[in-house]
Amino acid sequence: MYSMLKKCVAKEVPRDHHLLFTVLRNYMGKRVSSNLSTDQQQGLREIRSLSLSGAIKIGISDKGGEFAVLSQEHDRAITRLHLQDASVYSRSSPEEFRRQYRRLNRKWVEVSRSANLPKGMITRLRCDHHRMSSALYANKDAQAPPDRVTAGDPSVFKVRPIISNVGGPTDPIAWFLNLVLVQLFQFIPAHLPNTSNFLQKLREARLQKECVMESFDVTSLYTNVSNKCA
């Protein structure tokens, strides 16, 4: 029976797949050598130990994705300072959260019924098992002057807030809207899917002699900007 099965498998599996399996079997038994030096491995173990003990927080930087290591105390100070921006954040409570998500559900049912959406879809996109949003932060360490970083002043560090709304009241509706709106991007000439597309648009641009190309850096994408900065 086994020999018959083996023959059947051999007939079904192409020859290049057999070669792939042979290579995989050869490498499965080999030990992969580390590309870290002894000192680097020791440093990594120490960082992991400090992280597990709660002494430090290991995050990522905003642009390069490198490790950003901060003491827990320093990280809390930066977070508290960031949340003091009353133009963006305000205090809430569990009662207020429940009141808002119930209001959202009522509005969703009202709008979806007026659009004659199927009853099953209306029910699925309601959020009855809600979860509160959580705030995460990526460190914009490239913008902090090195001489002031060592001083430990929380105001020196800039952060990029990442609000995770997975499982939150707006999560199902946001998924549905994204499904609808993403289909319209192809009709928007100004939409740039990625950096490569942006560079291609620049190469194809045919500017007149009197035109000048300018580049502007963004002061802030996530908080209010004063008129002076704008």
Helix (H, G, I), strand (E, B) or coil at 71: strand
Query: Does pTM top 0.85 for this prediction?
Result: no
Evaluated on CA atoms 12, 16, 21, 25, the torsion sign reads positive
Question: Which residue is associated with the tokens 């000192």?
Answer: 39
Residue-wise pLDDT tens for the chain (230 aa)?
Answer: 444 434 444 445 556 677 888 888 887 777 777 888 999 999 989 999 999 998 888 877 766 667 778 888 888 888 888 888 887 788 888 899 889 889 999 999 999 999 999 999 999 888 777 777 777 777 776 556 666 666 667 777 777 787 777 888 888 888 998 998 889 888 887 777 777 877 888 888 888 888 887 777 666 665 566 667 65
The encoded tokens of residue 141 equal 């360490």
Give the per-residue pLDDT at 163.
Answer: 77
For residue 165, give Cα distances in angstroms to 68, 174, 175.
Answer: 24, 10, 11
Question: Is 111 strand, coil or helix?
Answer: helix
Distance, in Å, from the CA atom of 71 to the CA atom of 152, rounded to the nearest integer, reads 10
Q: For 106, which DSSP code?
A: H
